[in-house]
Copies of this chain bind each other. A is one copy, B any other.
Amino acid sequence: MRSLYNRIAGQNLERLAALSDGVFAVAMTLLVLDLRAPAAEAIHSEHDLLAALAALSPRLVTYMMSFLTLGIFWLGQQVQLDRLARGDRDLALLHIGFMFAVTLVPFSTGLLAEFMAYRTALLAYWANILLLGIVLYLTWGHASRARLVKDDTPPDVVAAICRRIIVAQSLYAFGAALCVFSTYLSIAFIALVQINYAVALPLALRR
């Protein structure tokens, strides 16, 4: 009985994509929700307001970094889903695990924004990125093993998706390790990795 139910569950890839898009959209918008207008009582001049906004700028940097992170992982998930011919129940559950890691990002980002100088906050943030990577890797592994991938996918694409996750996670891990010296160094390195994946690389390839 259970196996019959499980055989018919989780086959709808469009709804999996729709739920993921919803979770990403809410997580991305909530990120910025933590940016709060300063309290009116504390502001008595243009200069006060400018100073209050300037004081928000480190937070803004953290949010931009996390927004980019979510964007890159959204693309990473999409690359996988676009290659699938069908889904199954385990795939759906692995993606639900992936979404859980996505919903943690506003929390770990808020933690890092509040406690930028603390290694604990930085490592919690990195653990979140690591979790995203691990689940995405498991998801792809399951899709390959369970023959959910489209038949016309060349083997080098299957391998490229795995390698991409490992290379990116190695860079994040190196960045996190830099917190031995300074958490700011870690943040700068991870932000550069994200910017590299998002912007610099495509520019370089165009040359």
Seen from chain A, the residues whose Cβ lies within 8 Å of a Cβ on chain B are 1-6, 8-12, 15, 17-19, 21-33, 35-37, 40, 43, 46, 49-50, 53, 64, 67-68, 71, 74-76, 78-79, 81-83, 89-90, 92-93, 96, 99-100, 103-104, 106-107, 110-111, 114-115, 118-121, 124, 156-157, 160-161, 163-164, 198-199, 201-202, 205
Taken together, the copies of this chain in the complex come to 4
**Contacts A15-B81, A26-B29, A40-B115 supplied; 17 other A-B pairs, CB < 8 Å:** A2-B164, A2-B205, A6-B205, A8-B157, A9-B79, A10-B75, A19-B24, A21-B25, A22-B26, A25-B25, A28-B100, A32-B104, A32-B107, A35-B104, A43-B115, A46-B118, A67-B100
Q: What is the CB-to-nearest-CB distance from A89 to chain B, in angstroms, rounded to a whole number? A: 7
Tell me the bound Cα distance from A67 to B100 in angstroms. Answer: 7
7 inter-chain pairs at a CB distance below 8 angstroms, sorted by A residue, are A21-B25, A22-B24, A23-B29, A32-B106, A33-B107, A40-B115, A50-B120
